[in-house]
Structures are given as structure tokens and as C-alpha cells.
Structure 1
Amino acid sequence: MRIEKILSEFDGLGLEIAVIVPEGNPKGVIQFSHGMAEHKERYYDFMNYLSDHGYVCVIHDHRGHGGSVEKAEDYGFFYTENEQAIIEDLHTVTKYIKHIYSGLPVFLFSHSMGTLVARGYLKRYDSEIDKVVLCGPPTYNAAAGLGLLLARLSKPFIKEKAPNKMLNAMAFSQFNAGNSIPNGWLSENQANVAQYNQDPKCGFIFTTNGFVNLLRLQKAAFEKRNWHVSNPHLPILVIAGEEDPVIRSRKRFEQLIAFLSELGYTNISSKLYEHMRHEILNEEKKLDVYKDILLFYDEFQHTTSYSQV
């Protein structure tokens, strides 16, 4: 594994990335877009699994997360209210991948908030990737507009880099109903939840600025305007835990798939996993999920030769 810093083409923010390279000739590159209030290291187990099966894996910390901050106290702060920044960061990493691993197919894996970033990415760059997984995707939420209004109204009363506890409570207070420990909604695997709660780089509360970005991403993900489908046959896999509060319900999950189809994507598959919550990559039966995702990526046939710059 190697750790590097590259600069966002949006504003020059340093983005910390991790790269895991398999032995022998790789089959492709899998780029990751992680979720809210976590960091790239939480994906290393899955990345090692994919690398063992022939894939280069590349992940970066989103701005305001992990190593992609100017100061440690900037967690949850995005340095801009333009939600295109985090999308362009993802594209910056794609360009880095294509420079180093020219000729290999590039697949995208996204989780939770990372699927909102990925969907914003698809609006402009769906021809630059060969497959995409949307894992634990937020579904349509009509309250996103109200959340944006409240974010703007709260600005004068909360310091720029202070956590916005009001917006956080509005967004997530219902998720943990019925759970005996904080963030129990993340996983049925209580050891995973405990590890998350003990991790200083996880579970932080977004600033107002962070919530503005999140809510704008949420709204944009369900706006058909400006969505330029140039790769209608792009294989898309949509997966989630059946008990994941982020998808809200099976009906909303199916509506998301219908929305993607209405946009013009014709190659969509999906699966809900029984007895799993939001972080299906960290459940006790995670290997079942690993295998399904690997199968989805492996079904891609590619013959272009690979050259490393």
C-alpha cells in the first residue's frame, strides 16, 4: 500500500489517497467514494480482498474527512458551499488513476453520502467509468430543501467550523430509535459499532457548511435537469441492507432504481441483504457482500493492454 497527497483541481485542497496494488497484472482499477463522517482506512479490508482478486484499489478521504483537511479541527468542514467541489475531487482522483493505470477499466464503488457524490459525478462523467456500485444509497427526501433553509438561517448563530448539532439531530435522531448504543443503526455487528464509536476520525458532526454541501448533493441527486446520460449502458449495481434506515424503505429503494432507469440507464441490478443495516461491508456476513460485488466487477470483459506511467 502507498499513501499519497494530490491536489484537488477545484481549489487546490490536499486530498490524501491510499493505493493497494495486486500481484501480477491487474484486471482493473476500483475507485472508492466513502461515506459521511468516516475515512478511507475503514475500507482497507475490502480493498485487500479485491486486490487479492486482481484489482488495483484507490481511495481518497473526502474533503473535511480523514487526511483531506487543512487542520484536524476541520472535520466536517468542506472549505466551500459549492457541492461541485467534492464531485470534482472524485474526478481529480479518476484522472490520477487514468494517468498511472492507462488502459485499465475503472470501476467505482460508493457508499452512503459517497453515493450522492457518485451520482453527481455520473451527471457529467458517466462515460469515464465502466461500472458503478451504489451501496447504502440515500433515497429521495423532500425535506432536503427545508434543511437547506434551516442551514442558512442558523449560520449567524453558529461559528463557521462548529458542529451544527441542530441539523444533525434533525437528520439522524430517528435513525437510532430502538438501539441501546450510539450509532447502533450502522450495523447489526455490535463490534463494528463499538469500533466506530471509539474512532476519533468517525462520527463527528458536520459544520453548517458541511450540511449545506450534503443537502445540496441530496437535492441534486434527484434532479433530472443537467443530468447528461452519455453512457446509458453503464452497469449499475444498487445494494443495501434490508434494515438500513438510510434507504428509508424497500419502496423508496425501488423508487431510486426506477429514477435511474427513467434517466436512461438500461443496465441496473439491485439487491437487499436480510438482517443487515447500513454498513453491509462491516456486518458479520460481509463476505457474502464482498463476493457479490466482486462478481459484478468480474463480469466485465476487457482486452485493452495495461501500461504504467
Structure 2
Amino acid sequence: MRESTITFDSVDGLKIQTYLWEPEGEPRAVVQLQHGLGEHAGRYRRFGEALTDAGFVVYAPDARGSGRTAGGAYGHWGRDGWPGWVEDLNQLNRRIRADRRGLPVALIGHSMGSFASQQYLLNHSAEVDAVVLIGTTEVSGLADMLSGPADLSAFNAGFEHRTGFEWLTRDEAEVDKYCADPECGFETQPFEGIQTLKRAADPDELAKIRADLPVLIVSGDADPIADRGAAPELVGRRYRDAGLTDVEVVIYPEARHELLNETNRDEVTERILGFLARVLG
């Protein structure tokens, strides 16, 4: 895997730092990879290597308020707040389609990145050829919770309390890496404009998504935002009710929030790669 960095401009003046991970040969397709809250794109190198080994070129931004983009001001979301986070997906997608004309584009979002992806699709489903939502949930009730400062450690209720972040994965080494990373686990400012996320649960809005868009949803039934798998199943059902004809939902028993860092991560990765191979050719 060859790694470099590009930047793109947000509409409110931020420079979004983005990893570019390229395969050795000509790419077969593009993956636009959006990380979650309280982390950064550098944590996805292992997944990036699996994608590039399979022939994909990967664009993985450090979202606003995160990683290198934050410049140390972690959890500060810029002038446009949550709508800006969603619009950043659109700005990067435009860059990708200009850079990689003719290649299909898959959007993969984890956690907060999956929520942004759900909202992005309402107006931009024509710009992507496949979608994977990892560690996602139904978002209508989530917007109210995220209107205030987000304390991620609150999700650890019901798990062992060795570090307070056991809800992320059963793999203790991965939890320790997260806790030792100064760019992870930070408290955040409230998301201005987060109420717009509720649009992604509105049937009239979901009806705007093109019916032939393939969607894969993967979650663990021990993920505290998944309601034992019921919440991602609801997301899938809403897409089907909106007319989408190719929607898969896969729930992994006992798996927690970060499926790409879970003890069964190889199984999850292979499932995602198989989906991309099927729908992108």
C-alpha cells in the first residue's frame, strides 16, 4: 500500500487532511472511508491495506475536529458544525470523481461517519455506487443526545471497567491502543445543527435515495448503540420500505462497536470485501 496525503477545502474554510492509500497496480474502484467520533482516519490503516490489496484506492479523511485536521483543537466542529461534517462528504466525493473519472465509488462510514453517510445519501445517492454502514444505528433519537457535549465513556455501562472503553471491542490490545492515542476519546463541543440528522429517519426523505443503490449494514449485537441488533435492522428495514432493492444487514453475535478492531475483524473485512466485489464487479 502506498500512502500519501491530500487536502480539500470545506465550504466553511477548513483544510481537511485526507489519507490517500493506493494499490500497487491500477485501481478497480474507489473507497471513500469516513471514521467515527472521537478518533481519526489513521486507525484504519489495517483495513486500508485489505482494501488496497483487493485493488481499491482509498480516500480516508480526518474529519473536522479530528486527527490532523483538528490541529490539536479536538472536538471543535467549525462554523458549520454538523451540516458541515455532512457537506465534507460531498466535497471529498467531488474531488474523488474529478481525480478518478470513470471508477465506481463506494462510501464506507463507521459510527458517526455512518450517521453522516445516512444523511448524505438523502441528496447524493447518485454520486456513490455502493454504501457500507458499520457500527450504525437509527438516528432519530440520537440527534437529541448529541446536542450536548458527547462523553463516549458513558457507553461503557454494562461492560467491565478496566479502562472505561471496553464497549469498543473485546480485543484488549485494541482498547489499550485507543486509550493511549491522544487523538482518541476526547470530549467534544455540542454539534450545532445536529437536529438535521433526523431527516435520515424520515420516510419522505429516504424516498429520495435511488432504489438501485446497494447497501450493506454490519453491526455487533453487543454494540451499545445497536439495541442488540434491533437498531441496525430498523435502518435496513427503512431503506427497504423506501424502495431500495439490495439491502443486507449482518449482525455479529457478541461483537461490540468497532467491528474493524474486533476479535472477528478478519471475518467482517472479508464480508465487506465480498459485498464490494459483488456490487462493483
After TM superposition, the score normalised by the length of structure 2 is 0.92
Q: Give the equivalent residue in structure 2 for 1:196.
A: 178
1:43 counterpart = 2:44: yes
The sequence identity of aligned pairs, in percent, is 29
- Report deviation, 1:220: 3.0
Structure 1, unmatched stretches of 5+, are 152-163, 303-309
Task: Answer yes or no: is the 8 Å Cα contact 2:129–2:280 preserved in 1.
Answer: no
1:260 counterpart = 2:262: no
Alignment of 1:179-190 (within 5 A): 179-181=160-162, 182-190=164-172
> Aligned letter for 1:232?
A
> Highest CA radius of gyration, 1 or 2?
1
- Report deviation, 1:114: 0.5
Taking a change above 3 Å as real, the CA distance of residues 114 and 198 of structure 1, as seen in their structure-2 partners, is: same
Please, what is the CA RMSD of the aligned residues?
2.0
Q: Give the equivalent residue in structure 2 for 1:3.
A: 5
Higher relative contact order structure (alpha carbons within 8 Å, sequence separation ≥ 6): 1
Task: Answer yes or no: is the 8 Å Cα contact 2:168–2:175 preserved in 1.
Answer: yes
Taking a change above 3 Å as real, the CA distance of residues 146 and 115 of structure 1, as seen in their structure-2 partners, is: closer
Q: Give the equivalent residue in structure 1 for 2:13.
A: 12
- Report deviation, 1:244: 0.7
Q: Tell me the SS of whatever aligns to 1:75.
A: coil
Task: Answer yes or no: is the 8 Å Cα contact 1:64–1:77 preserved in 2.
Answer: yes
- Report deviation, 1:301: 4.7
Q: Tell me the SS of whatever aligns to 1:78.
A: coil
Inter-partner Cα distance in structure 2 for 1:120 and 1:141 = 11
Spell out, residue by residue over 1:89-129, the C-alpha distance to the aligned partner (whole angstroms, 9 max, x if none): 11111111111111100001110011110011100000110
- Report deviation, 1:205: 0.7
Taking a change above 3 Å as real, the CA distance of residues 255 and 16 of structure 1, as seen in their structure-2 partners, is: same
1:175 counterpart = 2:156: yes
Aligned residues: 278
Q: Give the equivalent residue in structure 2 for 1:159.
A: none
Q: Tell me the SS of whatever aligns to 1:137.
A: coil
Q: Give the equivalent residue in structure 2 for 1:158.
A: none
Q: Give the equivalent residue in structure 1 for 2:250.
A: 271
- Report deviation, 1:254: 1.8
Inter-partner Cα distance in structure 2 for 1:174 and 1:292 = 26
Structure 2, unmatched stretches of 5+, are none
1:296 counterpart = 2:275: yes
1:139 counterpart = 2:138: yes
Q: Tell me the SS of whatever aligns to 1:102.
A: coil
Spell out, residue by residue over 1:25-77, the C-alpha distance to the aligned partner (whole angstroms, 9 max, x if none): 211001101100100100111011110111101110111111222x41x2111
- Report deviation, 1:174: 4.6
